[in-house]
Copies of this chain bind each other. A is one copy, B any other.
């Protein structure tokens, strides 16, 4: 694709999608895209073509809506690109795979600044680059006439490298429940932003740019994980999917969870004290850090980055999640649900 000559200087208020036009914007955005190692055919044709190492491809998609999943006044374009990529890369990791490519659909108001879109593309590229992945295709359209909001859809493709895909349905009684990555930081950062503050920086950054433990996913698959998912809606909610699909009870060990997520004391306690919030509520119900949770057969030597936080018990007629034997709902009622920020259809 030829690089278009911008008609207006970059950063000029008139440098919008409407003025530069679809193909001009795509050219400038693609300049940010980087190269996917697995691409036989990259962006610019009817479709991309990706190599798969073992005759299979992992595929997942997420939609992010301005005002519901991100705010342009709270996050930079780069932040939003990184976060949108991270959510999908974590889904692929939670199967035991490594992301090879993204496809990105974007509906944006015609007056969207071209530089904002370049920032978004840069953020997507930065998050993908360490894995050798990049954006290989996309579609850019005008938002609905009644909307000034950006809608972003990201599809990630990934490679299992011969590993068995780790599903949500494989947890068995006696398995160890383990965690990789952090919990509650994004929710704590959101709580701070919602109250009009922008520090502590550590949690606000965690909300803007989550850092999922991508390598822990394939690592868990290699170690024989029986079930796995990423924590996008909150630990209790996402473990609830594993419990339901595996027909088991997942019992968390409160002390182990506190050790893993709240020791040594740090910004979660600091913000919790300031706001009168039990930081354990962020750990239990906060999503968007995209930690990974998995179950492993008993006596498995947990791979690097994983710590035990509970165990799997027989589900009987009531699969679900508990903390030290107490039903998750009662625990949330006691500590609060500060993390449960994202109501899907409010």
Using CB atoms and an 8 Å cutoff, list the residues of chain A in contact with chain B: 2, 17-18, 21-22, 40-41, 44-53, 55-69, 91-92, 94-95, 97, 101, 103-107, 110, 136-149, 151, 153, 155-158, 160, 165, 167-169, 228-230, 244-245, 344-346
Q: In the complex the two chains form, is A49's CB within 8 Å of B95's CB?
A: yes
Q: In the complex the two chains form, is B67's CB within 8 Å of A144's CB?
A: yes
Q: Which residue of B lies closest to A238 (CB)?
A: B46
Q: Which residue of B lies closest to A19 (CB)?
A: B345
Q: In the complex the two chains form, is B58's CB within 8 Å of A94's CB?
A: no
Q: Which residues of chain B have C-beta atoms less than 8 A from A106's C-beta?
A: 63
State A61–B62 Cα separation when bound (angstroms): 13
Asked, given contacts A22-B345, A65-B107, A153-B63, whether A146 binds B148 with beta carbons under 8 Å apart, the answer is yes
State A107–B140 Cα separation when bound (angstroms): 16
Q: List 6 A-B contacts (CB under 8 A).
A: A45-B167, A51-B55, A52-B55, A63-B139, A65-B141, A146-B149
What distance in Å separates the Cβ of A231 from its nearest Cβ neighbour in chain B?
11
Q: In the complex the two chains form, is A107's CB within 8 Å of B142's CB?
A: no
Q: In the complex the two chains form, is B144's CB within 8 Å of A47's CB?
A: no
Further pairs besides A22-B344, A55-B55: 18, Cβ < 8 Å: A45-B229, A46-B228, A47-B94, A49-B59, A49-B95, A52-B57, A59-B137, A60-B137, A61-B153, A67-B144, A67-B146, A68-B145, A69-B141, A105-B155, A146-B146, A147-B147, A151-B151, A153-B153
